[in-house]
């Protein structure tokens, strides 16, 4: 089997001779780094477009490059169907039984046929079952189904997270993020999203801006409350009520609440939170191929999700370091409607941002469509690679030529429109034209056989079957009637009951000099329940972590909520709940018609708050640590906010980046030797050709001379016998020269063969050197160690210690349940 995957390239297929209509022997190898300038694949249904794109993603996975694939049709889940044994029983559950009936076969017979077909197809393209096994070992594959539990669900309720602090609120990138988030939500609600005319758009934009400038996230429940009671009283120069009166705001809040309360929307709040990092890497740092199937969603839901996802990718991208190697691949199939040439759907803005900026961060974007007229070719002018298959109409071909010409003009390359027109008219199934700005000229190639079983779109039941082993099914056991409920943040409350006699509508006053605050409600108390506030202590802390060996000087701001113990009324240190950020900044005023739990005596004395601050300082000094990870092999340490899996993923990319650099150095090192050898080979090939021409000419002359002598001897006069003898002597000398010419050919051919062997030996030497580089920088060989950083006591600052009122409710059964959650 050819060792093509060891050179940091993608094996796409073989060259194709359009005039002869046959596959050539030369392999088409695509440099993975070329994808950082993005790619677009265009081809009609049946052109082999999906097979080419699947093959490219398979190559990325084999090389350890993570992939996020947006799948509007539902057939990218085929990448889960990889069978190293290629046994018929592996194919049997996935064959189309309707196809078997139409073909006059049983499903078992069709499975056997597919098994034989895949085995033969892979063999024809120099691939074996071991390559399928390598694909499965190189990456983790998963199918996500937002808004459905068929695959792995994605929780979008925490998706309106603020942009990173490095993005200033007055920047265009920050405002683009706000606009895209608002437009995506309004599209889902069916409300026209005009940034200048729509009151809804302007109000929501102000709410997002207000929250995000304070590094506060907005989920839908919090957004509903903010619409009813905005944290500002003016919009522009108008007061809030003049701009958007309360009854109209209530109608908008009701529309979002109806969406949140609808049974079908419950699937949107299940599963793991939307995180680009978790889509790219497993918790152990293994690269992933995350297939996000949206075929089951409505058009509005698709637009909503794709817009949010693209915005998340943009935010993730801006948090990465610059690189020239391919870090990750974002692929979207059937881009129709998301990147049109004239309209501006909410998905277009973040897509344009990715196409313009992602190159510097090593993120490759690949888009595919069967309808070229649905693509904004001006936006794709900087796309480096075009894969063009068979097109359906003359109009499609003209639009593709327009896009190719624009891309060539942008890079300063020559574009032969008439030749390209002729090539596009001659393409057949699985035959593509590749126009790559990094190559000297376009090439026509036939795509290789896919490692995955391409059986067509998967049904929900099939996706559910595929992903069932990945889902967690906790054991269900009957809970006692008064089981302790969980807080929305996942922390068990201190008590499930409260003495109703201790509640009063009069709020206890804090001691002099102590600030009080109120945590916001995560949800309404609900009909039939009583709302009350329970006193706790809220600390605002700043910790500085310093380590010269780790080159670390990191400041961490956090809030710590400390329940008050029953009886003594002092902070329960063992139940402290740390939260990132400044929780006090997100507090609100007290809700009306609420009751209050009595304030314990110790919490009524101001001096105790000073003592508690010192006690908290001692607690943090003794137990607070920051966990970092370090790789001695690559001489790099994790960031303070980076978990082990994310760090391992970053190390994997760094290893590939260094591998690519070392391979480039090797290629440059060997380039002169290859050049000299190839020059000698060309000269020897010319010499062999000349010698063959001379031999052929001499052989012809000798044959003519001998023939003339024989004819003269047979039919000439006796007086000519002397001349015949002279011609015979000349013919003999010619025959001797022909023999010498044949010897010259043999000697020249021998020299050529020797140089060709030298070339083969040099290629083998280079391949061995490349293998050595790859083995030295293999991600699996990188060792990491855990490092604990403890702060000095002088680096811990208790900025404030406040009396915090946390909202609870009492059910008719007397159960106390918390209504606050992590912001």
pLDDT class of 486 with cuts at 50, 70, 90: very low
pLDDT tens, position by position, 165-215: 767 787 877 887 788 788 878 887 888 878 888 899 999 999 999 888 877
pLDDT the model gives residue 732? 54
Residues facing residue 810 across a β-bridge: 530, 816
d(CA 636, CA 807): 45
Classified as helix, coil or strand, 553 is strand
β-sheet with 67-71: strand ranges across: 22-31, 9-17, 443-447, 431-436, 385-388, 39-42, 363-369, 328-332, 67-71, 288-293, 140-144
Judge contact between 805 and 590, C-beta under 8 A. yes
497 near 810, Cβ under 8 Å?
A: no
**What is the pLDDT at residue 753?**
86
**What confidence score (pLDDT) does residue 489 get?**
38
Mean pLDDT for all residues in the chain: 84
Share of the chain above pLDDT 90, in %: 41
Long-range CB pairs of 245-251, under 8 A, 24+ apart, other chains included = 248/199, 249/203
Strand, helix or coil for residue 298: coil
| pLDDT for position 481 | 31
- The residue ranges of DSSP E strands in 128-230, in sequence order, are 140-144, 154-155
**Does residue 480 carry a pLDDT above 80?**
no
User: Taking residues 737-743, what's their average pLDDT?
Assistant: 67
Share of the chain above pLDDT 70, in %: 87
The DSSP line for 326-395 is: --EEEEES--TTTS-SS---TTHHHHHHHHHHGGGGTEEEEEEES-GGGS-TTTTTT--EEEE---SSHH
Cβ neighbours for 222, distance < 8 A, ≥ 6 positions apart: 520
**269 or 330: which carries more pLDDT confidence?**
330
- ∠ CA 439-445-448 to the nearest 5 degrees? 115
What is the tens place of the pLDDT at every residue in 512-546? Answer: 989 998 888 877 788 889 999 999 999 999 999 99
Mean pLDDT of 228-245: 90
pLDDT band of 52, cuts 50, 70, 90: very high
- For residue 766, the model assigns a pLDDT of 81
Residue 717 pLDDT grade (very low, low, confident, very high; cuts 50, 70, 90): very low
Please count the CA atoms within 13 angstroms of the CA of 716 that sit on its side-chain side.
16
pLDDT of the residue at 585:
63
Within a 10 A sphere around the Cβ of 170, how many other Cβ atoms?
Answer: 7
Q: What is the pLDDT of residues 564-574, one digit of tens each?
A: 987 778 898 88
Tell me, what's the pLDDT at 54? 97
Q: Predicted confidence band at 411 (pLDDT cuts at 50, 70, 90)?
A: low
pLDDT tens digits for 646-704?
A: 888 888 888 888 888 888 888 888 888 888 888 888 888 888 888 777 767 666 666 65
Q: Is the pLDDT of residue 251 over 90?
A: yes
pLDDT at position 205 = 92
DSSP-assigned beta bridge partners for residue 332: 70, 367
Residue 488 has pLDDT above 60, yes or no: no
Q: Choose among 371, 428, 433: nearest CA to 407.
A: 433
- Euclidean distance between CA atoms 689 and 681, whole angstroms: 12
Above 90 in pLDDT, residue 60? Answer: yes
Q: In this predicted model, what pLDDT tens digit does every residue of 106-134 receive, in sequence order? A: 999 999 999 999 999 999 999 999 999 99
Residue 484: predicted pLDDT: 30
Distance CA 108, CA 111 (A): 5
Other beta carbons within 10 angstroms of residue 761's beta carbon come to 11
More confident site: 632 or 580:
632
pLDDT at 595: 93
* pLDDT tens track for 603-662: 999 999 999 999 999 999 988 899 999 998 888 899 888 888 888 888 888 888 888 888
Instruction: Please determine, for residue 250, whether its predicted confidence score (pLDDT) is greater than 90.
Output: yes
pLDDT digits (tens, 9 = 90+) for 362-401: 999 999 998 887 788 777 777 899 999 999 888 888 888 8
pLDDT digits (tens, 9 = 90+) for 754-792: 888 888 888 888 878 877 777 777 666 778 899 999 999
**Cα 304 from Cα 570, distance rounded (Å):** 48
Write down the pLDDT at residue 130: 93
pLDDT at residue 4, rounded to an integer: 66
């Amino acid at each position: 089997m050819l060792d093509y995957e060891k050179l940091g390239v993608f094996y796409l297929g073989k060259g194709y001779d359009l005039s002869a209509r046959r596959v050539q022997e030369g392999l088409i190898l695509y440099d993975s780094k070329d994808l950082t300038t993005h790619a677009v694949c265009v081809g009609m249904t049946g052109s082999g477009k999906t097979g080419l794109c699947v093959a490219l993603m398979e190559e990325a996975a084999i090389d350890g490059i993570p992939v996020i694939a947006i799948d509007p049709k539902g057939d990218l889940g085929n990448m889960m169907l990889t069978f190293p044994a290629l046994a018929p029983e592996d194919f049997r559950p996935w064959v189309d039984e309707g196809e078997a009936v139409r073909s006059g076969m049983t499903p078992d017979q069709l499975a056997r046929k597919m098994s034989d077909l895949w085995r033969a197809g892979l063999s024809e393209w120099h691939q074996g079952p071991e390559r399928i096994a390598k694909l499965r070992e190189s990456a983790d594959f998963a199918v996500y189904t937002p808004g459905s539990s068929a695959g792995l669900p994605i929780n979008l309720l925490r998706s309106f997270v603020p942009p990173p602090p490095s993005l200033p609120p007055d920047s265009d990138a920050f405002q683009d993020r706000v606009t895209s988030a608002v437009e995506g939500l309004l599209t889902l609600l069916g409300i026209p999203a005009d940034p200048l005319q729509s009151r809804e758009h302007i109000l929501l934009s102000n709410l997002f801006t207000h929250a995000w400038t304070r590094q506060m996230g907005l989920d839908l429940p919090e957004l509903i409350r903010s619409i009813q009671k905005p944290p500002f009283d003016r919009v522009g120069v108008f007061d809030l009520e003049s701009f958007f009166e309360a009854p109209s705001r209530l109608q908008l809040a009701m529309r979002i609440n109806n969406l949140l309360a609808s049974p079908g929307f419950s699937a949107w709040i299940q599963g793991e939170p939307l995180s680009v990092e978790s889509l790219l890497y497993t918790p152990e740092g293994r690269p992933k191929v995350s297939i996000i199937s949206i075929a089951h969603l409505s058009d509005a839901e698709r637009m909503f999700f794709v817009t949010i996802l693209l915005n998340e990718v943009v935010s993730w991208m801006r948090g990465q370091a610059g690189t020239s190697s391919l870090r990750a691949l974002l692929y979207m199939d059937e881009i129709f409607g998301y990147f049109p040439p004239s309209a501006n759907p909410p998905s277009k803005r973040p897509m344009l941002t990715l196409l313009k900026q992602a190159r510097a961060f090593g993120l490759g974007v690949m888009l595919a469509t069967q309808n070229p007229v649905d693509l904004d070719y001006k936006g794709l002018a900087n796309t480096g690679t075009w894969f063009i298959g068979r097109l359906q109409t003359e109009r499609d071909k003209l639009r593709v030529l327009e896009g190719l010409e624009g891309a060539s003009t942008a890079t300063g390359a020559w574009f032969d429109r008439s030749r390209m027109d002729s090539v596009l008219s001659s393409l057949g199934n699985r035959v593509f034209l590749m126009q790559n700005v990094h190559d000297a000229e376009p090439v026509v190639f036939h795509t290789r056989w896919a490692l995955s079983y391409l059986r067509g779109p998967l049904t929900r039941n099939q996706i559910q079957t595929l992903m069932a082993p990945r889902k967690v099914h906790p054991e269900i056991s009957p809970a006692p009637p008064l089981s302790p409920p969980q807080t929305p943040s996942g922390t068990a409350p201190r008590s499930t009951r409260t003495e109703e006699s201790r509640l009063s509508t009069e709020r206890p006053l804090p001691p002099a000099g102590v600030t009080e605050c109120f945590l916001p409600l995560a949800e309404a108390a609900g009909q039939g329940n009583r709302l009350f506030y329970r006193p706790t202590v809220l600390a605002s802390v700043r910790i500085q972590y310093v380590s010269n060996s780790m080159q670390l000087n990191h400041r961490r701001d956090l809030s710590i909520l400390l329940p008050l113990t029953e009886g003594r009324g002092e902070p329960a240190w063992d139940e402290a709940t740390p939260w990132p950020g400044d929780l006090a900044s997100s507090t609100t005023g007290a809700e009306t018609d609420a009751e209050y739990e009595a304030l314990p005596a110790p919490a009524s004395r101001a001096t105790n708050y000073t003592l508690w601050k010192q006690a908290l300082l001692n607690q943090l000094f003794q137990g607070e640590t920051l966990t970092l990870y370090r790789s001695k092999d690559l001489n790099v340490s994790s960031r303070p906010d980076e978990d082990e899996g994310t760090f391992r993923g970053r190390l994997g990319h760094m290893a590939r980046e260094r591998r690519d650099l070392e391979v480039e150095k090797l290629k440059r090192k060997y380039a002169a030797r290859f050049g000299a050898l190839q020059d000698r080979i060309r000269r020897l090939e010319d010499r062999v050709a000349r010698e063959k021409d001379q031999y052929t000419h001499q052989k012809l002359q000798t044959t003519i001379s001998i023939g003339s002598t024989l004819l003269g001897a047979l039919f000439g006069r006796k007086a000519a016998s002397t001349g015949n003898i002279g011609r015979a002597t000349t013919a003999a000398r010619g025959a001797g020269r022909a023999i010498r010419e044949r010897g010259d050919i043999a000697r020249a051919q021998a020299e050529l063969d020797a140089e060709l062997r030298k070339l083969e030996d040099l290629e083998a030497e280079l391949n061995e050197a490349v293998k050595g580089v790859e083995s030295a920088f293999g991600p699996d060989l990188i060792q990491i160690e855990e490092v604990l950083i403890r702060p000095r006591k002088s680096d811990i600052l208790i900025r404030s210690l406040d009396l915090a009122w946390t909202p609870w409710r009492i059910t008719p059964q007397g159960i106390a349940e918390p209504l606050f959650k992590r912001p």
